Amino acid sequence: MTSLSSEKNILLLLADDLGKYVGCYGCPSIKTPHLDRLASQGVRFTSAFASTASCSGSRSTIYTGLHTHENGQYGLRMHRTHFQTFEHVDSLPKLLRERGYLTVIGGKLHVGPPNVYSWEVVEESETRDVAWVADRCESFVQQARSESKPWYLTVGFIDPHRDVTTRGGFGNQKTYDKRVSLLDVRPEDIEIPSWLSDLPETRKEFVEYYQAIHRMDAGVGMILDALARQGMTENTMVIFTSDKGPPFVNSKTTLYEAGMNLPLIVRTPGLKPGLENPNMVSFIDILPSCLEWTGIDTAARTRNSSSPPRLGRSFFPILGETTLLDESKWQHHIFGSHTFHELQNYWPTRVLRTRKYKYHRNLAWRLDFPFATDLYASLTFEGIRNTDGPVMIGGRQLKDYIFRPAEELYDLDEDPQELHNLAPEAGHRDLLLELRRKLEDWQRQTKDLWWNRDGVSLTMLARYAKDGLAIPDRLDFDVENPSTRGVRLVQLDLEDHSRVKS
């Protein structure tokens, strides 16, 4: 065992439904002094993206380095759904525990099964008393010191998720430790984002939301102070992020920017403080970054494991970058994968996001886009649906939120709210085809069950490749022209069953 001072620890702080409502991310009306201080001591990524905007799914991508359609955590792990990660998948707590780390999770867990996410200590709790959470974190660090072990601690904050037992609450009416204060904020102090409608109901809920964010931020400060008291600041990498965007329509459960473009703050010893890093990173990059920080080589384990190969890359070597790296040095595109939220919220979509463009492939576009239960019941949505005239969610008509086309293409430089779909326009046909091809190449590479032609999974049809099955070369099944005669066909490749050829 190496000396305690040389061991490299990991503290992962994970907010729930925060989005970019943080002072250092350009929201001056919110009070997050501890996160702002953390950013001033480390690096703040401005282009960090979740793979999916759903709680269990997003957490699973962080812990496994795999998209949800690879790791099997297709939707929320709840008693009525039974969604959980495939048992053959490796996870960060499992890999670190096998190498002698004390692995601990406290607060929100929301992934399973336990043999995949095999933290040594699991203290699952729904408490929003962040002072109690901080005290428990300090005790875990003390335990690791007493056992002379390096440690990996995940803190799953409940805040600022909605209180699901009330329509507009965020847990602010409960009594907490005296170290936890309630933010004094008025409806007129709130900044309503452009992707959401500015209504009295929205401002009422955002007051509660701000207070929950402030409480979570206080917990971050208490935990970091505890880390300093234990003399662990100089050998611990601290990562802070959120699992998805704010708990409002047009954000949470969508792969629009508000749902997936999230905060990512990283502090490591020796890093120049106060950096802003514009390079694109994905949540599947967090696991390999943690492994590189610890110096653990898992190459042999990966070769001999039945767990899928991870496509994420460690961002650890580029932490100190403040300018965009050349494409030859760093990949400037990310993918997103969403299939379920709650069990009844089936709406699979895949996304390719470059620096400039965003391509959505909506596989079940003939279905209404579903409402997460807490969003449908919210006071904000009640206010939105009862407005006069065309019902709008920010700049998007409600009907365009509910009814979406098979493909969406947006120029994010000109249209950051993703309102003007370029996919049907002839002038963008070549770009559409290029991005579609890149997305499908990624689906093939990751063995996505929703890699479709003619509305059917090519991955599942691979068993018939030897029989020369030919499939109409179109995305969706055409009920007006179901025939395979007179249309362009593709065949499954007999040499590589995961490919198709014309």
For the chain, how far is it from start to end, CA to CA, in angstroms? 57
What would the DSSP string read from start to end of 284-317?
GGHHHHHHHHHT---HHHHHH-SSPPP-----GG
Tell me how far the alpha carbon of residue 463 is from its chain's centroid: 33
Token reading at 11: 């503290």
Q: 457: part of which helix (H) or strand (E)? A: strand 456-457
- Interatomic CA distance for residues 339 and 83, integer angstroms: 11
Within a 13 Å sphere around the CA of 446, how many CA atoms are in the beta-carbon half? 26
Distance between CA 296 and CA 334 in Å, rounded?
Answer: 25
In this structure, the dihedral spanned by the alpha carbons of residues 11, 15, 18 and 22, taken in order and rounded to 10 degrees, is -40
Q: CA 256, CA 392: separation in Å to the nearest integer?
A: 16
Strand-pair partners of 453: 456
Quick one: 198 exposed, middle or buried, by C-beta within 10 A (0-12, 13-18, 19+)? Answer: middle
Which residues pair with residue 351 across a beta bridge?
A: 336, 360
Joined tokens for residue 36? 């702002």
Q: Are 141 and 153 in contact (CB under 8 A)?
A: yes
* Residue 206 amino acid letter: F
Query: Which positions are annotated as active-site residues?
Result: 55
Q: Centre a 10 Å sphere on the Cβ of residue 38 and count the other Cβ atoms it contains.
A: 23
In whole angstroms, how far apart are CA 495 and each of 257, 462, 466, 473? 39, 11, 9, 20
Q: What is the CA radius of gyration of the chain?
A: 23
Instruction: Give me the DSSP letters along 140-152.
Output: HHHHHHHTT--EE
Structure tokens given for 4? 């305690």
| Virtual torsion, Cα 374, 376, 379, 385, nearest 10 deg | 170
Q: Can you tell me the distance from the alpha carbon of 100 to that of 46, in angstroms, rounded to the nearest whole number?
A: 34
Residue burial 162-185, b: 16+ Cβ < 10 Å; e: rest: bbeeeebbbbbeeebeeebeebeb
Cα 451 to Cα 49, 159, 220, 359, 456: the distances in Å are 22, 36, 40, 15, 8
Name the strand (E) or helix (H) holding 337.
Answer: strand 333-338
Structure tokens at 328: 């030859």
H or E element that contains 492: strand 489-492
